[in-house]
A and B are shown apart, each in its own frame.
Chain A
Amino acid sequence: MGAIAAIAGREFREGIRNRWVLGATLILTVLSVTLAFLGSTPAGTVRASPLAVTVVSLSSLSIFLVPLIALFLSFDGITGESERGTLLLLLSYPISRRTIVIGKFIGYAAIIGFSVIIGYGSAGAAVLAFQGGDGVFGYLGLIGSTVLLGMVFASLGLLVSAIFKERATAAGMSVAVWLLFALLFDMALMAALAADDNQRIGPSLVPWLLMLNPTDVYRFFNLTLLDDVRTFAGMASLGRAAMPDAGLLIAAMLLWVIIPLAAASLVFRRSDVR
């Protein structure tokens, strides 16, 4: 545990030093506060809770922004150390490669967690303070699931970093991963659904297909968890029976964290360090 904590602590301090923590926190705070106030303005008319409106706005923002931040944080976790030569140093210590991967992941998760909790937390606190209303539970779900979403992409970033030996290639592949999950997957799925015309892909299968994309799992979780949010997000028409429950969605996101992390550890363990 000492080695994991040391590596995680180093990553977090490095994040503070190179202003990743500050930058990510500032971006999330400014955007979330802005969206919270601009987005919740019409809440009175539709009688939705301001926090519920904020959840809808912020979850759409998170799907694009948080994966990008997490991937930028983690894509050179292994490749960068290798290029700077410090990986040799780390590997000379009596710690396993899995320990290095886990330590780095925890460091990135801490940076993401800190930024999201401060950023989204301050927006939620401001909405509650100035506009009141309920929906705190849903908002806490948003914060927790956003941290989880960041962890998923930190895990994917580490996998990219373990696979590709050059930093530039790893950076390019990270952008590809972001494009795939933030944009292309849903477009491809919609195209497939349109082409299929309810022949083979029935409505009951769609939620499960969405599980193949962690950003969809995140969106599903936040837009369907609370009645208030569901109504405002236009998801009320989806019958509860067709939707996986919150526990399953969280389990799916956890799997999206664990599987790439385990794969990163495996790839790293099998690779030679030159």
Chain B
Amino acid sequence: MIEVQSLTKEFGSIRAVNGISFSVAKGEVLGFLGPNGAGKSTTMKMITGFLTPTSGSAIICGHDIQKEPIAAKQRIGYLPEGAPLYPDMTARGFLNFVGASRGLDGADRVKAIDRVVEMAQLDQVLNQPIETLSKGFTRRVGLAQALLHDPDVLILDEPTDGLDPNQKHQVRQVINDMATVKSIVISTHILEEVHAVCSRAMIIARGQLLADGTPTELESQSRYHNTVTIRTLSMPPVPERTGLGQLDGVSEVEEGGAPSAPEFRVRPQDGAVILPAISAYVTENRWEVDEVRLEKGQLDDVFRQLTTSDSPAATVVEEAA
């Protein structure tokens, strides 16, 4: 439903987006991750037709956003960052305005408004001016306007930014409810969002695509992927602790925790599966184990690995730019 080919945007001598390509199919929720200034919003604005790419194209449901903007926009629902709405209008008045702007008339508009009001649970605030609504409700009105014409493609720029945990949950619930029938792109720098709603995630930094995969696949790129953490009830003798680090596939052992409950964080080499070997080792040496944890890897660790300026990936980006 979304096909992005070699999208590039330059502002003078600055290349904000550098040849990004990806596609999003129906039923996919793509998390578009990146630090501030990574090029997320610029990419989103090119996909939605607000910015003209320096080169490349974005095709929405078969329509090139530059060549057929009206046809493409008929298939897109968009929630801009911060959900800017008209504060003086009531939620109902605003949805009516959006319906009219989208060419919905009469009974069709009434039906569409009823549908999104139910989806976003706006009944109780429908006649309130938007400026009097909480952030959570304002964001839901923003979502409702994006959904009014039942679009195939939904593009949400930082949909939960600035919301409290309850409000985030409400907005994510709305997104999850329609995830299977639409193509959704969510731009965010909140990594928990990826676990909450995304079936796939992409990380960009300095305008370049650095990673693309399911959240699990991305987590597996973490240096902590398959790391085993053992907490014991007493401190094992030094030779046994040293032996732990010499097991096959083990890269490093970090010792921590309190003296009465020491912790050993055992990192594998290249994500190797080391849990069975460690399990056998502690059983053999009769360690008094209180807890064993296997880490899938942390997305924020992968994010840092890829996007910080001293990371190898970032260096590659700098050279390419």
Q: Across the interface, which residues of A come within 8 angstroms of B52, CB to CB?
A: 272
Of the listed stretches A84-92, A167-175, A190-198, A249-257, chain B binds A84-92
Inter-chain pairs besides A10-B89, A91-B50, 8 sampled, C-beta below 8 Å = A6-B100, A17-B88, A88-B45, A89-B80, A89-B145, A92-B76, A93-B73, A272-B50
Given the contacts A93-B98, A94-B103, A274 and B70 also touching, CB distance less than 8 Å: no
Given the contacts A10-B86, A96-B70, A272-B52, A88 and B80 also touching, CB distance less than 8 Å: yes
Minimum CB–CB distance from A21 to chain B (whole Å) comes to 14
Whether B100 contacts A5 by the Cβ 8 Å rule is yes
Say yes or no: is A258 at the interface (Cβ < 8 Å to chain B). no
Inter-chain CA distance A90–B69, complex, in Å, is 13
Of the four ranges (under 10, 10 to 19, 20 to 34, 35 or more), the interface on chain B belongs to: 20 to 34
Q: Across the interface, which residues of B come within 8 angstroms of A86, CB to CB?
A: 84-86
Q: Map CB proximity to A onto B67-102 as digits: 1 under 8 Å, 0 otherwise.
A: 001110110111011101110110000000110111
The answer, among A10, A85, A96, for a CB contact under 8 Å with B80, is A85
Minimum CB–CB distance from B128 to chain A (whole Å) comes to 15
In the complex formed, the residue of B with least CB distance to A10 is B97
Inter-chain CA distance A34–B115, complex, in Å, is 54
The answer, among B45, B48, B103, B146, for a CB contact under 8 Å with A3, is B103
Of the four ranges (under 10, 10 to 19, 20 to 34, 35 or more), the interface on chain A belongs to: 20 to 34
Q: Give me 9 A-to-B residue pairs in the complex whose CB atoms sit less than 8 angstroms apart, sorted by A's number.
A: A3-B103, A6-B101, A10-B97, A88-B45, A89-B84, A94-B71, A95-B70, A272-B52, A274-B50
Q: Is the interface of A mostly helix, strand, loop or mixed?
A: helix
A residues bordering B, Cβ < 8 Å?
Answer: 2-3, 5-7, 9-10, 14, 17-18, 84-86, 88-96, 272-274
The answer, among A17, A85, A95, for a CB contact under 8 Å with B101, is A95
Whether A3 contacts B100 by the Cβ 8 Å rule is yes
Q: Across the interface, which residues of A come within 8 angstroms of B100, CB to CB?
A: 2-3, 5-6
Inter-chain CA distance A199–B126, complex, in Å, is 71
In the complex formed, the residue of A with least CB distance to B103 is A2
Inter-chain CA distance A176–B85, complex, in Å, is 31
Q: Across the interface, which residues of B come within 8 angstroms of A9, CB to CB?
A: 97
